[in-house]
Amino acid sequence: MQTRVYVQSEHFPDIKLVEIDDHATLDDLKRAALALLPAGIDASELTLSVEDDDDDAHAQAAHVKDLKKEHGIRVHIHRCKQVEVQVHFGAEVVHHKFRPATTVGRVRQWAGHKLGMQPSDIAEHVLQVTGTNDQPDVDIHIGTLAAYPACSVIFDLVPAHRING
């Protein structure tokens, strides 16, 4: 059976899709994901991480099927092993290092809790890349926003736009 693998990377702006056999190894998965990269990228510097997997749980997996979730597998290819994230909220700033495959939504939840916000208040805020109007979707990996070698991204936690009507 084939599994859908959604791939994000610092090397392309959009989510790409690759299908791979359930019984393929993680090395097979990495090769398939690397094949999506533009020509001329040095693959020896790249690591593959699984979405929101902070504790290397995927290291226990032998095959692609072991990573499978309800909607397939989501991975990230990046030169940075960690991304330093700063979140500004008024005069407060919180810092943490995340893997490149950590979603913007997960970073927002972390920042809100760290700043002492209630879940309902967190839900009414979004992360905006500092100095821009860019508010990445919650399923975007922070690695797509962090350029190598800086391996960092700075956000402002701002109120979400509400449409009244």
CATH architecture of 83-159: Roll (3.10)
Question: Hey, what are 145's tokens?
Answer: 């926003």
- Beta-bridge partners for 75: 7, 50
Each residue of 118-150: pLDDT tens digit? Answer: 999 999 999 999 999 999 999 999 999 999 999
The architecture in CATH of the region 2-78 reads Roll (3.10)
Asked whether residue 59 carries a pLDDT value surpassing 90, the answer given is no
pTM score, whole prediction: 0.90
| Residue among 91, 97, 75, 77 nearest 153 (CA) | 97
DSSP 8-class letter at 43: G
Split at pLDDT 50, 70, 90, the class of 58 is: low
Which range, of 58-72, 75-89, 134-148, averages the lowest pLDDT?
58-72
CA distance 158 to 140: 17
Percent of the chain's residues with pLDDT above 70: 93
Average pLDDT over residues 82-93: 97
Measured CA angle at 137 (ends 127, 126), to 5 deg: 25
Q: Which of 76, 77, 98 is nearest to 87 (CA)?
A: 98
How far apart are the two ends of the chain, measured CA to CA in Å?
A: 46
Q: Given this chain, do its domains 2-78 and 83-159 carry the same CATH topology?
A: yes
pLDDT at 46: 92
Distance CA 135, CA 2 (A): 33
Q: Over the chain, what is the mean pLDDT? A: 91
The residue written with tokens 């979707």 in the block is 137
Domain boundaries, the chain: 2-78, 83-159
What is the H or E stretch that residue 77 is in?
Answer: strand 73-78
Digit-coded pLDDT (tens) for 5-46: 999 999 998 999 999 999 999 889 999 999 999 888 888 889
